[in-house]
Structures are given as C-alpha cells and as structure tokens.
Structure 1
Amino acid sequence: MRKIKYKKGRKVQPTLLEYTGVHKQIKTELQLFVYDTNDLTEYNEFRTEQLQKCFDSSKVNWLNVHGINDIETIKSIGDFLTVDNFMLSDILNTTKRTKLEEYHDVLFFNIKSLLPIENSDNINMEQISFLLKNGILVSFQEKRSDFFAHIRERIRTHSGIVRDKKADYLLYLLLDAVMENFYITIESEEDRVEDLINLSKSNTNPEILIQIEKHRDNFNFLKRSIIPLRDSLYSIKSMKDDNVFNAVEHDNYSFFARLHQKSLELLEQVEYDMTTLDSASNFYFSSQNHKMNEVIKTLTVVSVFFMPLTFIVGIYGMNFDVMPELRWRYGYFMIMSFMFFLLIGMILYFKKKKWF
C-alpha cells in the first residue's frame, strides 16, 4: 500500500504539470477506438499527431493512455480537448483523492484502483483518470494493465449494447471494471483475516496481533478510498436534473446509480470486516488473559497445597528444648505421614470443588 506523503512547506501551483507517481520509467502508449453500431476502427501505437485526423465527432472516440509520465503527451491531449491545466494537473498528481469535477463541457473523474499484492499483506494502488467531452472519452492509466481487456473485446465483437451507446455508457463500464478490483481486494483481505482468526484460536504469538493491526490499516485505507468514490458517484446522480451539463445522457443515469449502490455495498462490507477484526483482536486478548489466568490459578493452587506443610515444617523447625515429638522414635514417620495424607486430602477436596 502506497501512503500519501505531503512535504511541509512545499508550494506547488495548481496548474503545474508534474507527475507525482512512481511509474516514471514506463513508456507512454496510446490506443484509440472509434466506433458506432455499424463500424469500428482501432488504432494501436497511436500518436498525438494523429488526433485531428483520426477522431470522428459522429462516433464514440475512446483514447486510452498507458503511462502518464510523458508531460508533453498529456499536454497535447489537453490542448486538443481544450481542457484547463488544473484538470491535467489532477491527472498527473496521484496523491489526489477520488473526485468528480465538471467544468464547462468537460467531465473529469479520477478513481483509485486497488488490488492485493501476491504473497504480501500490502495493497497496490493505481490512479485512473477520465475526461469526457462531446462523445470523446480519454482514460489515463499509470501503467499497462488488463482492467479494461474485456471491454475492448466487447467493443471488437459487438457484444452487448456498448456499441449502441454513447461515450458516457463507456465511462460507466470502465468505472464498473475498476470497482470490481475493490471486490477482489476485499475478498483477498477477508480470506487472510479468516486465516488469522483461525490461527489466533490455537496460537497466542504476538505476531498475530501485529498482522491483525496491519489488516485493520488496509481496511481503513479501503474505506478512505471508497468514501470519496461514493460521494463522486452520488454527484453524477445529482446531475440528472441539471439542464446545463449534458455529458451524461438522461437514460444512462440509472447505470451510474448502480455504481453508487455498489459503493454503498462496498462500504458496508468494509465496515463489517472491520468489526470482524475487532472481534479477532478481542478474542486474541481474551485468549491471552485466559492463559495468564490459568497460569496464576495453577501457581495459586500449588501455593495453597504447600501452605499447611510449610506451617508444620515451621513449627518443628523451632529450637525449643521441650518438644516431645523430637525424642519419639516414630515421630518423624508420623509427621511425614500426616503431611502426606493432608496433601492428598486437600487435592481431593479441590477436585471435588472443581477449583482446578
């Protein structure tokens, strides 16, 4: 999980174009789909010099960008769409929280894609941003991934209604694909937490508590990522009665309402899992306390067993001249026998009372 770090005293202009992510060595690659119900044109290894020539305003245009460390390429796309620099700055600044913004005729949406790292308790985060304007959708990914592979295949094979819809429906599909990663991440966390809970029932190693707290941090991180996503999706729902901004068709608002409902389900699941983690922590501490109580109980019982024996030994350890038992031939054997039967009697009594 990559934590957001803020440098104290750093002053950055809102319109400054600076990539703040970690994938600075990745080559920027572009892919363009231009399609409608009857036609599809796919451009691989697309270049920004082809923007004017290849875009078709009568069709849906989807430009997907892999790698956003090339500032000039991002600037060229922004100039073509006449997007203000502050939006481009938000695309390049991966420390920004998920948000939705509408400015003039442009809809900007960025989202955090979270996936578990294999053989690790950490979570990988990638920022994905979208620009929607007049039938043109541009998606920006920090690195190449297969989040949208199934959507590309649906476009190529004309599967479903994606080719019959506009760019706003495509945005819904892309957002839905990214949100699926949240389910994968939560499921992975739940499996690991379940293993921890089962382990805590048979092992009181302090390392278990450290792992529980680690996964609690992961769920908190998930929660912080989902809440702004929920708010942004609600804002899209709220645009339904806005007659000024028409980036989303009236009939497609129901799709974004589904995404909003998904975000609520994700939040509820995270809250439930955090409660489960609290139960795991409580169970761990209860096990520790129970183990300690059992040890103290055992030590107490042993101490009680030897208290009367110590008392007898203390009496016969006094240096008095007149102690008849000391001169009796069988005194030692009688006292030892008495101490033995006294100990046996106390053990039986404690057993009957179920004190151990």
Structure 2
Amino acid sequence: MRKIKYKKGKKVVPTFLEYTGVHKEVATQMQLFVYDNEDLTECSDGYFGEILSNVNYKKQNWLNLHGLNNTEVLSQVGDFLKVDTFMLGDILNTIKRTKLDEYHDVLFFSIKSILPIENSDNINMEQISFLLKDGILTSFQEKRSDFFTHIRERMRTHSGIVREKKVDYLLYLLLDAVMENFYITIEAEEDKVEALINLSKTTTKPIVLEQIEKHRDNFNFLKRSIIPLRDSLYSIKSMKEDNVFNSIEKDNYSFFDRLHQKSLELLEQIEYDLTSLESASNFYFSSQNHKMNEVMKTLTVVSVFFMPLTFIVGVYGMNFDNMPELHWKYGYFALLGFMFFLLMGMIYYFKWKKWY
C-alpha cells in the first residue's frame, strides 16, 4: 500500500508563483477561440498580449494555454481575468487533488487527466485546470496534447451545438473529454488484468503476485483520483440550488449531472476490477497451496511405500545368530521377492483407494 509521506518544503509566499510539475521543458503557448453561432475566430500567433486583445466579451471565448513554465504569462492572464493569486498557485501546484472553487464570479476547476503509458504498467498523470468567468473559459494544460482536438474540429466545422451554447457548455465538453481518458485507462488496465488472471491459472511464479499488486495499486490510484472529481461534480448541483453563480445556465446543469453519473460508473467499475484482482490473488495462493499439498501427498505416499520395506531390512540387519532365514540357501531371493510383491500390493491398494 502506498503511504503518503509528509515532506517539509520551503515556505512559499502566497503571491509567489512556481510550477511544481515535471514538464518544465515545455514552452508556454496560447490559443484563443472567439465564437458564436455565426462566426469563429482563431488566434494562436503573436505575443500573448496581442492574443488577449482579441477577446470579445460580446461573444464566447475559449483561451487555452499549454506549458506552465512561464509564470509571467500566467500572471498576465490572471491580471487580465482579474482572478486572485491563490487560484493561479493552485493551477501551478500539480500535486493537489481535484478541486472545485467558486470565488465571487469565478469558477475554478482542476482535474487529473490520466492515461496508460504504452508498453508499461505505469500510468501517466497530467493536471488540467479551468477558469470560467464572464463568457471566457480559460484552460491550462501542462503540455500539448490531443485531448480536445475533436472539440476544436467541432467548433471549426460548426458541428453539434457547441457554438450555439455559452462557454459553460464548452466546459462540460472539455471535462467530458478528460473523463474519457479514465475509461481508456481502466479498459487498458482491465485487458492486462484479464491476461494476468489467465496467467495465474497456469503458473505460480512470484512475478504473477507482483503484477497483481501493481495493478491493484493502479486501480486504487484511479479511485483516489475519481473520488474528489465525483465530489466536485456533485458540488455543482448546490450552485444550481443556491442560484448565486450565474456563469452556468440552468439548462446546462443537467450536462454536469451526466458527468457526475459517469464518475459513479467509473467508481463502480473500479470496485468490480479490484474484486477481480482479489479473486486472482486468492486463486494464486490457492494454486500454490494446492501445488504444495500435491508435493506433500507424493512424498507421503513414497514414504509409506518404503516403511514396511525399511522395517524388514531393519529386522534382518540385527545380526542375531539364531535367525533361520540367514542360513537358508534361497532366503535372500525369497525375501527380495516378498518385498517386491508387498510393494506392488501397496501400490495397487493405494491406486484402488484413489489416494494418488
């Protein structure tokens, strides 16, 4: 079981921004979509200030950043959106759990995007954060990825209703795309677990148990990632009841409810997979015990076969003078024959009793 260890780190001033992730070599880039039902404008070239100047508050705006090394750009975006520094710090702090914050007129949502690593039993994790405010949805990614490629294409080709809706619906689409990665990861894990269960039925090598424990850790890691996501999505329901946060339209709360249901489905599937792994582990130990019992059974049967023979040999090894068989011409051969037929009789009897 993985344990969480406390590490005493340096004290950070609340106004100090520092990226804590592993993708420190990724350069910061920005992309802006300004759209409505009639028109779409895409900006990705130029200085960051020039891109931000294209924001149109009369339309819907999606600002996407990937690469969080340049904290100056992040501060510039924060000043432009007028968000507090602690939210920017949460964006840069990638070790925090999934969370949802509603602060004044800003909705902050951070989520863990998880995908399996090819040809490996490990899982890759990336934090993606969102800021929703005044018709502007800003997404922050640690590195360039293709999570949202299909959404961009739907916007460019005017497919679906994404350009007919406000950016709260776009937030739903982006969260849904990230949650699809959980399905991909769980499916990949289940394929490996199925192969592992089949392997546990044919071998009792210790490597099988090691792999079982590895995948159990992976599923527990997925579970710890989804539980706060489930809680955050459930919290959106309270926003509808409070009727305070106006950046999400009432008709669109049902979409976030779907995401909440998906999180419940993911947790149920993980529980089922953990049960399957527990069964595989029990089967592994049962196979080991059965194999050991078979070995002990074989050794016991062999020792029982030789017990009477050992007794006979011990009797005639006492070297008493008054033993008639010692002076009989055919005593040696008669005794060997008797021992042979005794052994065959015992083998037949054991086989008839199905003791081996």
TM-score range, shorter chain: over 0.9
Inter-partner Cα distance in structure 1 for 2:128 and 2:306: 72
Cα drift, residue 325 of structure 1: 0.3
CA distance in 2, matches of 1:51, 1:10: 35
**Match for 2:315: what amino acid?**
I
Q: CA deviation at 1:246?
A: 1.1
Alignment partners' CA distance in 1, 2:342 and 2:145: 78
Partner of 1:310: 310
Deviates more, 1:331-340 or 1:105-114: 331-340
Q: Determine if the alignment matches structure 1 residue 176 to structure 2 residue 176.
A: yes
CA–CA separation in structure 1 for the residues paired with 2:336 and 2:303: 19
Q: How many residues align?
A: 355
> Any stretches of 5+ residues in structure 2 without a counterpart?
none
SS in 2 for 1:262: helix
After TM superposition, give the deviation of residue 320 of structure 1 in Å. 0.6
What is the Cα deviation at residue 330 of structure 1? 1.1
Report if aligned partners of 2:32, 2:51 keep a CA contact under 8 Å in 1: no
**2:349 corresponds to 1:349:** yes
Give the unaligned 5+ runs of structure 1.
none
What is the CA–CA distance in structure 2 between the aligned matches of 1:158 and 1:15, rounded to whole Å?
41
Structure 2 letter corresponding to 1:229: L
C-alpha deviations, 1:72-101, integer Å up to 9, x for none?
011000001110000000000000100000
Residues 78 and 84 of structure 2 are in contact (CA less than 8 Å); yes or no, is this contact kept in structure 1? yes
Please list the CA deviations of residues 263-307 of structure 1 after superposition, one character each: whole Å capped at 9, or x if unmatched.
000000001000000001011111111111100000000000000
Secondary structure at the aligned position of 1:33 is classed as: strand
Match for residue 261 of structure 1? 261
1:238: how far off? Answer: 1.8
Partner of 2:336: 336
3-state SS of paired residue (2:44): strand
Q: Which residue is 1:153 aligned to?
A: 153
Once residues 302 and 3 of structure 2 are traced to their aligned partners in structure 1, the CA distance between those partners, rounded to angstroms, is 53
Letter in 1 for 2:19: Y
Q: Are 1:115 and 2:149 an aligned pair?
A: no
Measured after TM superposition, the shift of residue 261 of structure 1 is 0.1
C-alpha displacement of 1:327: 0.2
**Percent same amino acid at aligned positions?**
77
Q: Are the counterparts in 2 of residues 97 and 228 from structure 1 also a CA contact under 8 Å?
A: yes
Partners of 1:16 and 1:86 within 8 A in 2:
no
Give the counterpart letter for 2:65 in structure 1.
V
Tell me if 1:218 matches 2:223: no
- Tell me what 1:18 maps to: 18
- SS class of match (1:164): coil
- Equivalent position SS for 1:162: coil
**Over residues 188-229 of structure 1, what are the superposed CA-to-partner deviations in whole Å (9 max), with x where a residue is unaligned?**
000001111111111111011101100111001000000000
Whether 1:191 aligns to 2:191 is yes
Q: Kindly provide the CA deviation profile for residues 314-350 of structure 1, in whole angstroms up to 9, marking residues without a partner as x.
A: 0000011100000011111111111111100100110
Correspondence for 1:45? 45
> Separation in 1 of the partners of 2:330 and 2:337?
11
* Conserved 8 A contact 1:32-1:46: no
Question: What does 1:287-306 correspond to in 2, within 5 Å?
Answer: 287-306=287-306
Secondary structure in 2 matching 1:291: helix
Superposition pairs for residues 57-206 of structure 1, below 5 Å? 57-206=57-206
Which residue of 1 is the match for residue 252 of structure 2?
252
| Letter of the 2:166 counterpart | K
Q: Is the 8 A contact 2:44 2:51 kept in 1?
A: no
The answer (yes or no) to whether the contact 1:35–1:59 under 8 Å persists in 2 is yes
C-alpha distance in structure 2 between counterparts of 1:334 and 1:52, whole Å: 108
- 1:47 CA displacement: 3.3
C-alpha deviation, 1:5, in angstroms: 7.0
* Conservation of the 8 A alpha-carbon contact between 2:129 and 2:140: yes
CA distance in 1, matches of 2:265, 2:46: 38
* Structure 2 equivalent of residue 231 of structure 1: 231
Q: Please, which moves more after superposition, 162-171 or 11-20? A: 11-20
Q: Is the 8 A contact 2:43 2:51 kept in 1?
A: no
TM norm structure 1: 0.97
Root-mean-square deviation over aligned CA pairs: 1.4
CA–CA distance in structure 2, aligned partners of residues 56 and 3 of structure 1? 48
TM-superposed CA distance for 1:6, in Å, is 5.0
Cross-structure match for 1:31 = 31
